[in-house]
């Protein structure tokens, strides 16, 4: 019985990983159960057995990938009371970039989420609430510390989104950036260098935004 449970778990995880690759390559609408099971070396009935249907498989893929990414690049950690907000921002940016450029078990997750940006599914909502909202709240708190106690949460949130926007841009637009400037290449090996730039740029910007009154 224990061996059967282990086999079922192995099949389930293999289907999740393979489905993630296929969904990220083809998109939800063009991906097929037959393609996924063929690559996974499983019978097409395995999806129905483990997940029920294609929609629930897709939702399980998002949940699984988000869980794996959180384990490999944790965001909700205690950065330590002794760290200055500038140091905390740098570390948070580095971890965000690790998630975006990650090449771990679910290196396809960023491609899949890029598809969700332009064609969001109902499966995205639980991921946002479970993972992205707490991450944003943590970033907003750091930005508020940078900008001062008088800064409202709304002001800090706008600046926080600008920080995230830089992280996402360097991933989504790296092909175009590479064509515009072939010397600029961004991948997992560039995370530390890119984190330094985004953190320094964001720290200077958030402090200047408040001083110049661009955020009311």
The predicted-structure confidence for 94-145, as pLDDT tens digits, reads as follows 989 988 887 677 789 988 999 998 899 999 999 999 999 988 999 999 999 9
pLDDT of residue 90: 93
pLDDT at 75 over 80: no
For residues 84-98, average pLDDT:
91
Q: What is the DSSP string of 36-53?
A: HHHHHT--THHHHHHTSS
pLDDT at 169 over 70: yes
Same domain assignment for residues 145 and 157: yes
pLDDT at 213 over 60: no
The predicted-structure confidence for 176-190, as pLDDT tens digits, reads as follows 888 898 887 777 788
Q: How far apart are CA 164 and CA 161, in angstroms?
A: 5
199 vs 149, higher pLDDT:
199
The verdict on residue 216 lying in a domain is no
Domain interval for residue 29: 2-66
The verdict on residue 39 lying in a domain is yes
Contact 19, 61 (CB under 8 A): yes
The predicted-structure confidence for 3-22, as pLDDT tens digits, reads as follows 444 556 789 999 999 999 99
Of 162, 157, 61, 148, give the one whose Cα is nearest residue 105: 61
- Domain with residue 36: its CATH number is 1.10.10.60
Same domain assignment for residues 190 and 84: yes
pLDDT at 193 over 80: yes
Of 136, 134, 169, give the one whose Cα is nearest residue 154: 136
Structural domain ending residue among the three candidates 42, 66, 90: 66
Contact 169, 157 (CB under 8 A): no
> For the chain, percent helix, then strand, then coil, each to nearest 5?
75, 0, 25
Structural domain ending residue among the three candidates 11, 33, 66: 66
Global pTM reads 0.83
Whole-number mean pLDDT of the chain?
Answer: 87
- Domain with residue 125: its CATH number is 1.10.357.10
The residue assigned the tokens 């929609």 is 55
For residues 77-94, average pLDDT:
82
Same domain assignment for residues 181 and 122: yes
Of 142, 165, 140, 162, give the one whose Cα is nearest residue 153: 140
The predicted-structure confidence for 45-69, as pLDDT tens digits, reads as follows 999 999 999 999 999 999 999 998 8
pLDDT at 1 over 90: no
Q: How far apart are CA 32 and CA 154, in angstroms?
A: 42
């Amino acid at each position: 019985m224990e061996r059967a449970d282990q086999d079922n778990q192995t099949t389930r995880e293999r289907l999740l990983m393979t489905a993630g690759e296929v969904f990220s390559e083809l998109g939800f609408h063009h991906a097929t159960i037959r393609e996924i099971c063929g690559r996974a070396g499983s019978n097409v009935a395995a999806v129905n057995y483990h997940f029920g249907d294609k929609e629930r498989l897709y939702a399980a893929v998002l949940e699984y990938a988000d869980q794996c990414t959180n384990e490999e690049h944790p965001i909700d950690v205690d950065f330590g009371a002794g760290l200055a907000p500038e140091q905390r921002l740098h570390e948070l940016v580095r971890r965000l970039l690790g998630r975006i450029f990650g090449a771990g078990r679910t290196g396809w997750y960023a491609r899949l989420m890029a598809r969700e940006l332009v064609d969001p599914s109902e499966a995205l909502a639980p991921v946002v609430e479970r993972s992205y909202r707490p991450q944003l709240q943590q970033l907003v708190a750091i930005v508020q510390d940078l900008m001062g106690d008088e800064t409202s949460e709304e002001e800090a949130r706008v600046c926080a989104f600008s920080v995230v926007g830089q992280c996402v841009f360097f991933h989504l637009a790296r092909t175009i950036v590479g064509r515009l400037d072939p010397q600029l290449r961004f991948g997992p090996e560039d995370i530390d260098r890119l984190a330094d730039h985004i953190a320094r740029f964001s720290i200077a910007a958030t402090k200047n935004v408040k001083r110049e009154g661009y955020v009311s």
